[in-house]
Chain A
Amino acid sequence: MSKNDILIKINQLYKIFGHNSIEALDLVKDGMGKDELLEKSNCVLGLNNINLDINRAKIQVIMGLSGSGKSTLIRHLNRLIEPTSGEILVNNEDIISLSPKQLVQFRQNNMSMVFQKFALFPHKTVLHNVGYGLAIQNIAKDEWIEKATRWISRVGLDGYEFYYPGQLSGGMQQRVGLARALSTDAEILLMDEAFSALDPLIRSEMQNILLDLQNELHKTIIFITHDLDEALKIGDRIAILKDGSMVQDSGPQEIIMNPADDYVSDFIKDINRARVIEVRSIMTPTSTKSTGPVAQESMVLEDILQIMSKDPSKPVTIENSKGKITGKIEIGNLIEGMKRPKSQGTNITG
């Protein structure tokens, strides 16, 4: 990926909660862990040396268990939380050094946010909620109402303009949250466990809405979740946090095939590998066609199994989206691919 495509660059970001955060910072830089720090200086380690490049127009997922610092990290991007040290560059501009006035401008124009518990304004109608980001920029009322109405309809809530959030179901409320975030036309969309509070069916529906919108809008989305299925479904890249440190940052296939350590292995162990691993991750590269059937390289193993089941002895030829042959796969490779890998951190056996 060329350098121009990086929109957000996080460099050596530390966050320590507590009174002696500056002193504690030195301890952390010398390698002190979260528990020891809490005991010694009564400070909580929020983020520990985070370095992350986020690509323009992609969905960057940040994953981790509760308390791993993912919500803290996303709140640094619009400075709802101030870092202890480090820099965050957006379009090569360090947002940590923005003055309060510039920060307000930055939040109004460059970033918007969707919240886990929706955080809609209960005393405002759907229309006023969606138009909020515009209204506080002192945009003419006709103009923001027109825009807000358009976004309400885009997320499928026509006719609900004058309802209050309390009158809507959870899924509908989060659509309002999404529309509110989109209405300001900000380039960057922060989503803090945006779908975690929804039930599975609605969550899946919201994920599809998001992917649909993304196909059209090409926003840079930072999406926080603790759900690996969700991460794999929508993420272009996935970063995994543990105790405030970043453990792995790579593409979804890479996470499944090569987990960086036991923590990541633990994350992926319950995943249905046949349904998420794409065949290109495990195929044997070749450019010659073999006798068997042909499949697309973006197909998941489950689909390949279906194709292969007709004649398991024959290898399947794999081609890319342009019809060029890129590899082949045999039944043995498939079985190998289903097996859970050991993490890279521990010694690999077998």
Chain B
Amino acid sequence: MITTSNRGGDHFFNEGFLMMDWFFKFPDMSRSDLREFKKSVDFAFTDFSRTYGENIENFFEPLLMFLVSFEKFFINTPWPFIVLGMLIFAWIGSRSILIVIGTFLSFMLIGYFGMWEDTMSTLAIILVATFLCISIGIPVGIAMARSNKVQATIVPILDIMQTIPSFVYLIPVVMLLGIGKVPGLIAVCIYAIPPIVRLTNLGIRLVDKDILEASDSFGANYWQKLFGVQIPLALPTIFAGVNQTIMMALAMVVIASMIGVKGLGLPVLQAVSNQYLALGLMNGLAIVVLAIIFDRVTQKFGLRMQKYRNNGKD
């Protein structure tokens, strides 16, 4: 105890102050207590995953089937059909011939450089993840917009989901479900769902109060207001959320590959650990290209949805 007093200089502190070593060293838990604490958490979770792991796995079984069949569909369909499908998707979404040409060239290059199959796997998981995020995220966002209490509860959860390092939630997911596609998909969704939830909430809350008042004054009930006025007017904002969700899902592809998701992330991971520059660049760029295509197409689509806003004479 006396030794700690040397930090401040003996002449300065009187005897009473010497007792205050908590002032210089944080009064933390003892090492053994800490070890016990961590152990108990770990054991509790291990127990939990032993008891319920199988149930949880069964619960996600349909999701796995869905994902697998989706992936098979993408890989087994002859490539010209896929390319054609992508071109149609790009055209319907963007109505821009430039984006369609860009999409065509991108897929040709991806195929030529031998990344076709990985790209199809990535495409499958991205689409399934986006689908999941939309079907969970939009209702949650609507609930948040309806009640301030719900909003106050969910916002901190979203904050955690967005800021917690992905590796941290990979641990419990892997403990529960092992390594494979489903845990990867869940990890992607945890990371990618916040924007769609936030922007659905925001979009609905931003709808002009006057217009809601008008809707009320004609005797619209909650659902008529929601589906007839709020969601249609919030759609551009909601779509910005969909766009962000897709982007974040793509960003998670590499991390998801660490727990057994096939696709463009896996070669990137190999390239990092073996210092294969070309392999890393090629697959990395393929991810970028996918991201740009999805981004441009969905953005243009979102813009077209709010065309009625920009054609006023006054």
The answer to whether A119 touches B210, judged by C-beta atoms less than 8 angstroms apart, is yes
Stretch in B103-111, B221-229, B292-300 touching the partner: B221-229
Q: Closest Cβ of chain A: how far from B92's Cβ, in Å?
A: 20
The answer to whether B211 touches A184, judged by C-beta atoms less than 8 angstroms apart, is no
Q: Closest Cβ of chain A: how far from B203's Cβ, in Å?
A: 13
The answer to whether A117 touches B228, judged by C-beta atoms less than 8 angstroms apart, is no
Q: How far apart are the CA atoms of A108 and B214 in the complex, in Å?
A: 12
Q: Closest Cβ of chain B: how far from A95's Cβ, in Å?
A: 13
Contact indicator per residue, chain A 136-167, by CB within 8 Å of chain B (1) or not (0): 11000000000000000000000000001011
Q: How far apart are the CA atoms of A91 and B278 in the complex, in Å?
A: 82
Q: Closest Cβ of chain A: how far from B156's Cβ, in Å?
A: 26
* Interfacial chain A residues near B216, Cβ < 8 Å: 80, 107
Tally of A-B Cβ pairs under 8 angstroms? 74
Contact size range, B: 20 to 34
Tell me which of B208, B218, B310 contacts A108 (CB under 8 A).
Answer: B218
* Interfacial chain B residues near A103, Cβ < 8 Å: 219
Q: How far apart are the CA atoms of A90 and B214 in the complex, in Å?
A: 21
Contact indicator per residue, chain B 200-234, by CB within 8 Å of chain A (1) or not (0): 00000000101101111111110010001100110
The answer to whether B217 touches A111, judged by C-beta atoms less than 8 angstroms apart, is yes
The answer to whether B218 touches A184, judged by C-beta atoms less than 8 angstroms apart, is yes
Q: Which residue of A lies closest to B211 (CB)?
A: A119
Say yes or no: A169-B313 contact (C-beta < 8 A), given A108-B218, A136-B220: yes
* Interfacial chain B residues near A18, Cβ < 8 Å: none
Verify if B33 is at the interface (C-beta below 8 Å from A): no
Of B214, B224, B309, most buried by chain A (CB within 10 Å of CB) is B214
Say yes or no: A78-B217 contact (C-beta < 8 A), given A122-B309, A136-B228: yes
Verify if B314 is at the interface (C-beta below 8 Å from A): yes
Q: Which residue of A lies closest to B212 (CB)?
A: A119
Say yes or no: A113-B217 contact (C-beta < 8 A), given A119-B210, A122-B309: yes
Say yes or no: A115-B214 contact (C-beta < 8 A), given A105-B219, A123-B308, A169-B313: yes
The answer to whether B308 touches A122, judged by C-beta atoms less than 8 angstroms apart, is yes
Of A112, A115, A119, most buried by chain B (CB within 10 Å of CB) is A119
Verify if A195 is at the interface (C-beta below 8 Å from B): no
Closest CB pairs A-B (n = 4)? A107-B219, A108-B219, A119-B214, A166-B312
User: Please, could you name 24 A-B residue pairs with CB atoms under 8 Å apart, sorted by A?
Assistant: A80-B213, A103-B219, A105-B219, A107-B218, A109-B219, A111-B217, A112-B217, A112-B218, A113-B214, A115-B210, A119-B210, A119-B211, A120-B211, A120-B214, A121-B233, A122-B233, A122-B308, A136-B218, A136-B221, A136-B228, A164-B308, A164-B311, A166-B309, A169-B314
Given contacts A104-B220, A113-B214, 19 further A-B contacts (CB under 8 A): A78-B217, A107-B217, A111-B217, A113-B217, A113-B218, A117-B210, A119-B208, A119-B210, A121-B215, A133-B219, A136-B219, A136-B220, A136-B224, A136-B228, A137-B219, A167-B313, A168-B313, A169-B313, A169-B314
A residues within 8 Å of B by Cβ?
78, 80, 103-109, 111-113, 115, 117, 119-123, 132-133, 136-137, 164, 166-170, 180, 184, 190
B residues within 8 Å of A by Cβ?
208, 210-211, 213-221, 224, 228-229, 232-233, 308-314
